[in-house]
């Protein structure tokens, strides 16, 4: 019943090192986010800088703001968001769609609800290696219908990046990462390999599950679980309802991280440079001064 891609047990299973409940806070203009990675309790899980579960209704949102030095991955859980950037790019992502934005040397954009009611999603920030921080911005947009999916023994997965159940996503990432959305039916179990040496965490979207070892205390919605070293993650859904969670893992960059809001660089001097470039419209921010989304 087991195949080579999904061993029933791991030589060195990853256990839960830390579990943190993400509380709601304000961000942008009247928007509410539950910040797990990037909050004070979990500053950084190299190469991940931030994970926000956002719930936003008009007129709130994330109006015009810059980014430099990392990638943002926006995954819609429910609803629609429109992004517009300073090079005239505009698009809307809907439930199940992904926008992968490599900010590189600079992007100025707005991210706003595109429908009435509460628009929900996850935004993950992935750091770039120092050699990649100043590259040209680029986007990958993946519609829900084009996201690789697989299902096995009561476990369904949507593979944003990486490989699960022998299925691989076509998305390309500069910093090697995996990012997937699992839904486990009651009574199911999962054994997902994760490359040794990568840092990994789980964010529970809905329901509750047992992570890492069979007798662990269950973790429930809005908790972020940071995994220890090892070759894979085991999960059991012993509850009576579906369990949905995001799993993210990535190769650590092991470089200094200096963050000032939406700029993430390797030194104070580079942050100062980023703020000046944004202010004076240089080094990638040339189009910033004459642009506004409104």
Least distance in Å: CB of 50 to ligand FJE?
Answer: 7
Short-list 121, 127, 139, CA closest to 256: 127
Residue 109 annotated in ligand binding: yes
Short-list 131, 141, 125, CA closest to 71: 125
Interacting span for ligand FJE (CB under 6 A) from 25-33, 161-169, 185-193, 246-254: 25-33
Least distance in Å: CB of 65 to ligand FJE?
Answer: 5
Is 117 among the residues that bind ligand FJE (CB under 6 A)? no
Residue 222 annotated in ligand binding: no
First to last CA, the chain: 56
Output the six-digit token pair for 237: 């859904």
Is 208 among the residues that bind ligand FJE (CB under 6 A)? no
Q: How many CB atoms lie within 10 A of CB 206?
A: 14
Of the residues 6, 22, 28, 226, which one makes contact with ligand FJE according to CB under 6 A = 28
Is 59 among the residues that bind ligand FJE (CB under 6 A)? no
Q: Which residues pair with 178 in a beta bridge?
A: 249
Alpha carbon distance 270, 182 (integer Å): 38
Of the residues 48, 54, 70, 75, which one makes contact with ligand FJE according to CB under 6 A = 54
Least distance in Å: CB of 15 to ligand FJE?
Answer: 29
Which runs of consecutive H residues, i.e. helices, occur in the chain? Answer: 268-280
Of the residues 6, 16, 33, 86, which one makes contact with ligand FJE according to CB under 6 A = 33
Residue 65 annotated in ligand binding: yes
**Residues binding ligand FJE: what is the number (CB under 6 A)?**
13
Short-list 85, 133, 71, CA closest to 287: 85
Alpha carbon distance 231, 210 (integer Å): 18
Alpha carbon distance 118, 109 (integer Å): 21
Alpha carbon distance 191, 10 (integer Å): 8
Is 71 among the residues that bind ligand FJE (CB under 6 A)? no
Interacting span for ligand FJE (CB under 6 A) from 27-35, 175-183, 206-214, 277-285: 27-35
Cβ proximity to ligand FJE: between 179 and 198 the closer is 179
Cβ proximity to ligand FJE: between 212 and 284 the closer is 284
Cβ proximity to ligand FJE: between 80 and 178 the closer is 80
Residue in this structure with the two tokens 């009561």, named with its chain if needed: 154
Per 3-state DSSP, the chain is made up of helix, strand and coil in percentages (nearest 5) of 5, 50, 45
Output the six-digit token pair for 99: 């926008």
Residue in this structure with the two tokens 């990486």, named with its chain if needed: 162
276, 208 contact by CB (below 8 A): no
Of the residues 123, 148, 188, 237, which one makes contact with ligand FJE according to CB under 6 A = 123
Least distance in Å: CB of 5 to ligand FJE?
Answer: 33
Cβ proximity to ligand FJE: between 111 and 181 the closer is 111
Residue 53 annotated in ligand binding: no
DSSP label of 101: E
Is 261 among the residues that bind ligand FJE (CB under 6 A)? yes
Least distance in Å: CB of 125 to ligand FJE?
Answer: 8
Residues that bind ligand FJE (CB under 6 A): 27-28, 33, 52, 54, 62, 65, 74, 81, 111, 123, 261-262
For the annotated binding site, the residues are 65, 67, 109, 111
For the annotated binding site for Fe cation, the residues are 65, 67, 109, 111
């Amino acid at each position: 019943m087991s195949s080579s891609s999904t061993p029933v047990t791991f030589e060195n299973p990853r256990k839960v090192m830390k579990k943190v409940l993400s509380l709601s806070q304000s961000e942008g203009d009247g928007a509410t986010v539950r910040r797990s990675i990037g909050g004070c309790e979990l500053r950084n899980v190299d190469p991940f800088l931030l994970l926000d579960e956002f719930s936003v209704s008009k007129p709130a949102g994330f109006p015009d703001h810059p980014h430099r030095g990392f990638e943002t991955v926006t995954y819609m859980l429910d609803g629609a968001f429109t992004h517009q950037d300073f090079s005239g790019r505009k698009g809307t992502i809907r439930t199940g769609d992904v926008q992968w934005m490599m900010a590189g040397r600079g992007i100025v954009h707005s991210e706003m609800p595109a429908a009435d009611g509460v628009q929900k999603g996850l935004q993950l920030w992935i750091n770039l290696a120092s050699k990649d921080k100043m590259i040209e911005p680029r986007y990958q947009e993946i519609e829900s219908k084009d996201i690789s999916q697989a299902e096995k023994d009561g476990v369904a997965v949507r593979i944003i990046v990486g490989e699960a159940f022998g299925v691989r996503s076509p998305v390309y990432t500069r910093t090697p990462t995996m990012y997937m959305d699992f839904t486990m039916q009651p009574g199911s179990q999962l054994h997902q390999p994760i490359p040794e040496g990568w840092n990994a965490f789980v964010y529970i979207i809905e329901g509750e599950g047992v992570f890492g070892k069979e007798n662990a205390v269950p973790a429930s919605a809005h908790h972020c679980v940071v995994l220890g070293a090892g070759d894979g993650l085991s999960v059991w859904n012993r509850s009576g309802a579906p369990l949905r969670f995001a799993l993210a893992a990535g190769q650590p960059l092991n470089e200094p991280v200096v963050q000032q809001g939406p700029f993430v660089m390797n030194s104070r001097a580079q942050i100062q440079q980023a703020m000046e470039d944004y202010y004076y419209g240089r080094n990638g921010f040339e189009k910033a001064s004459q642009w506004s989304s409104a």
